[in-house]
Structure 1
Amino acid sequence: MTATTASPPSAVTFSGRLLFPFLRRLRLRLVASWYDRHLQRLDLAEIDEHLLRDLGLTREDVRRECAKSFWQR
């Protein structure tokens, strides 16, 4: 008698990719939000004193926010 091997479901891959498609979308969304946060902090660092005063922020607030890593909120 020969043994038959079952093929894995189509959502599962074993070639280094994520196992489920929704995890891949989640990962892409997470990386996109990290990049967006990084760009926002770069923009914040360039705002002049007059606009910071309008926003109710100090230069110290900006320095503290820009010192955070991209994954920190």
Structure 2
Amino acid sequence: MTARTVPHTVLVSRLGCRPSPFMILRRVHLRLLARWYDRHLQRLDLAEIDEHLLRDLGLTPQDVRRECAKSFWQA
């Protein structure tokens, strides 16, 4: 197990010290970038759903256009 995949509490108990602020910040940024990319992919998938399936989901084409018009960082 590398330091990148080990949770903070395990690092403290195994190493007897806290991870550096840089390590914590890096982990947070990687999670944020992954979330943004996942959101981007979900919106691409949503844009490809046909109208019949949208009705089954309770969405209108206007809902889809509004969601897909958002930037990747917007929830």
Query: Please, which runs of 5 or more residues in structure 1 have no aligned partner?
Result: 1-9, 12-18
TM-score of the aligned structures, taking structure 2 as reference length: 0.72
Number of matched pairs = 57
List 4+ stretches of structure 1 deviating above 3 A: none
SS at match of 2:24: helix
Larger Cα Rg: Structure 1 or Structure 2?
A: 1
For residue 59 of structure 1, what is the amino acid of its counterpart? P
* Higher relative helix content: 2
Query: Please, which runs of 5 or more residues in structure 2 have no aligned partner?
Result: 1-18
Show the counterpart of 2:52.
50
Show the counterpart of 2:13.
none
Distance 1:32 1:22 in 2: 16
Distance 2:68 2:48 in 1: 11
TM-score of the aligned structures, taking structure 1 as reference length: 0.74
